[in-house]
Amino acid sequence: MHYYLQGQQKIEYAPKETLQVVEYYRDETDREYLKGCGETVEVHEGQIVICDIHEAYRFICNNAVKKVVLKVTIEDGYFHNK
């Protein structure tokens, strides 16, 4: 979840199933790399972006913003990499 306090930012998002995997998810980095195209939206202060686990997103501009980012982890009873 990203809550924008100041500024604006463009975000491109798409369902992961429509993208090509470049590098599979790694628990140690909490990252996976995909390529393809999605829809673009511009987010402004006061707005919230919530991404589901089945969605990919990336920021396509480098505007200075202030935001609160919350990441929710759902594990199977324990944290492998924590």
Q: Do 67 and 8 touch, CB atoms closer than 8 A?
A: no
pTM across the whole model: 0.76
Our CA angle for 20, 47, 72, nearest 5°, is 55
57 versus 74: which is more confidently predicted?
57
CA atoms in the 13 A half-sphere facing the CB of 21: 7
Per-residue model confidence (pLDDT) at position 27: 81
Give 17-44 pLDDT, tens digit per residue. 999 999 999 888 888 999 999 999 999 9
Per-residue model confidence (pLDDT) at position 18: 97
CA atoms in the 13 A half-sphere facing the CB of 44: 0
* Average pLDDT score over residue span 53-71: 90
CA distance 14 to 36: 9
